[in-house]
Amino acid sequence: MRVLLTSDLHHNHTRSRPLADDLIDQINQTPADILILIGDTAVLADNALDACLSRITFPGQKLFVPGNHELWSHAGDTNELLTKTLPQRVESLGWHWLQSKPFITDQLAIVGSLGWYDYSFAQQNLGIPRRFYEAMISPGAAERLEEYAHLFNRTDDISPHAREIFARWNDGKFIRLNRTDEEFLNQLLAQLKDQLDSLRDHPRILAAIHQLPFRELLPPPHTAQWDFAKAYLGSQRIGDLLLQYPNLTDLFCGHSHYPAEAQIKHIHAKNTGCGYKRKFLHLLDV
């Protein structure tokens, strides 16, 4: 059995689309049994997701995992997008919605999840208090906007360096969770646990998680702006859950746009490394 995996096509993005189209051509021409897209394929607006998925003529089983960009919307509740609108749209185009139902063969079971963040990957050396991560804006950027004045009701816990960091995380502008990030992560972990519990007796499990489950997969230190974004790349709690299942041997993720690979106990963990400027297609022989 051959499994193809990729992520972060960002097909609606002008800079990313030509590379995504080239990779889709490669997918359509590569003999394999299963294809998995691990999030951030395209946004729903302007039928961008439909256009991208319809362009993929891969003849095998096609599995879909949502990313945070699939949840971007100027209107509507995120929970309805994730539980109704997106699954209906994806399944109508002939794809298996991996977020809520595993894909099972005799040789391999595949589970999937968007995953989420709880700021456990925040870089402590930046000296940014948690309330800024919750607001998805750095102190330097927040200081210039009146709507964030309340974040400075206390200043003794903000490092001088933090006030020189100017960054925002756009999930805060385009996603309406109506709950905390940690509560959303709890919801997704419970859903993933149900999938994994049902597969305890299966010989081999592969997990496709959009966000990073392990600290070992984080990008190396970069600019302060990029290091601020690490708080939104995933959560170690996802990895802690995966490690509870000894038959889970492989993990693929995306989201960070940085290739990384690590052996973490019994799990071979790999980030696809796909982003706006480069795309990769991974092959797993089972």
Task: Compute the radius of gyration of the chain from its Cα atoms.
Answer: 19
Which residue is it, tokens 């973490």? 264
Which tens digit of pLDDT belongs to each residue from 189-209? 999 999 999 999 999 999 999
SS3 198: coil
Six-digit token string for 41: 């394929």
| 14/208 Cα distance (integer angstroms) | 26
pTM (global) more than 0.85: yes
Kind and range of the H or E run holding 17: helix 17-29
**Contact partners, residue 256, CB within 8 Å, separation at least 6:** 212, 217, 218, 219, 233, 271
**Contact partners, residue 51, CB within 8 Å, separation at least 6:** 11, 42
SS3 283: strand
7: closest CA among 260, 231, 177?
A: 260
Supply the DSSP symbol for 60: S
Contact 250, 207 (CB under 8 A): yes
Which tens digit of pLDDT belongs to each residue from 100-134? 999 999 999 999 999 999 999 999 999 999 999 99
How many residues are there in the chain? 286
pLDDT tens-place values along the chain, 286 residues long: 999 999 999 999 999 999 999 999 999 999 999 999 999 999 998 899 999 999 999 999 999 999 999 999 866 688 899 999 999 999 999 999 999 999 999 999 999 999 999 999 999 999 999 999 999 999 999 999 999 999 999 999 999 999 999 999 999 999 999 999 999 999 999 999 999 999 999 999 999 999 999 999 999 999 999 999 999 999 999 999 999 999 999 999 999 999 999 999 999 999 999 999 999 999 999 9
SS3 154: coil
Give pLDDT, residue 150: 97
Q: In sequence order, what E strands does the chain have? A: 2-6, 34-38, 61-65, 96-97, 103-104, 109-113, 205-209, 248-253, 260-264, 267-271, 282-285
253: closest CA among 6, 2, 3, 15?
A: 6
Give pLDDT, residue 75: 64
Sign of the C-alpha dihedral, residues 43, 120, 239, 265? Answer: positive
Contact 140, 128 (CB under 8 A): no
